[in-house]
Amino acid sequence: MATVWIDADVCMGAGTCSQIAPQVFHQRGDGLWAVKEDSTHFGETVVFDGGNAPGHGPDGPTGRARVPEPLLPLVMEAADECPGECILLEV
């Protein structure tokens, strides 16, 4: 299964990713974006934003969200359209 993560050091906060694939991208409290695994596909929602509370996971390359097969084309489009080129996808 493909995985995706965001390099927050490069993220510009444009939100293009969430416009294309809101099921996978989540706005952090600091105006940047994080990846998430949505409960629709994985039973519970986990946001990979570096938070320590339940429902949160590590950010950066250690905080990779799994991408369900039906959402992969949208995540690939989000990565292509991202103005900061900060979305990294491993297929």
In the prediction, which pLDDT does 3 show?
Answer: 98
Count CB atoms within 10 A of the CB of residue 63. 23
Following DSSP, what letter does each residue of 34-65 receive, concatenated? EEEE-HHHHSS-EEESS--STTEE--GGGSPE
For the question of whether the overall pTM of this predicted structure is more than 0.75, the answer is yes
Q: What is the pLDDT of residues 14-60, one digit of tens each?
A: 999 999 999 999 999 899 999 999 999 999 999 999 999 999 999 99
Q: Assess contact for 26 and 36: CB atoms under 8 A.
A: yes
CA neighbor of 83 nearest in space, from 37, 29, 36, 33 = 33
pLDDT on residue 23? 97
